[in-house]
Amino acid sequence: MFLGHFGVAFATKPLQPRVSLGTLFLATQLADLLWPTLLLVGVERVQIRPGLMAASPFDFIYYPFSHSLLAQLLLGLLLGTTYGLIQRNWPSALLVGLVESYPLTGC
């Protein structure tokens, strides 16, 4: 999962070389960085079940916010707009916003 996210960041870097790789990493990982916070405050839920799957013992019970379609679109808009206002580079801001929303493709 993480390698796929980072792969998207590496692949889009040549499109806008002025955007830092760290910003692209943040954009591709934002939902996965938000999820533990929502988990800790009790908004989303997961159970640990050893042996559930070979790769992960997590049984995702309730996570409608961090990985929802609406959340991805809003986070992309927010991150892209913030980047554009700070950097004054709107083509790069568009790329950052789109890269944030890339999990919508099912990656």
- pLDDT averaged over 10-residue windows placed end to end, the chain, 107 residues: 78 92 91 89 91 86 85 91 96 93 58
Amino acid 105: pLDDT: 46
How far is the C-alpha of 88 from the C-alpha of 22, rounded, in Å? 18
In single-letter form, the type of residue at position 66 comes to S
In single-letter form, the type of residue at position 20 comes to S
Say if residues 96 and 20 touch (Cβ distance below 8 Å). no
Per the rule left: phi > 0, alpha: psi between -120 and 50, beta: everything else, 88 is left
Amino acid 1: pLDDT: 57
Q: What is the pTM of this model?
A: 0.80
Amino acid 104: pLDDT: 55
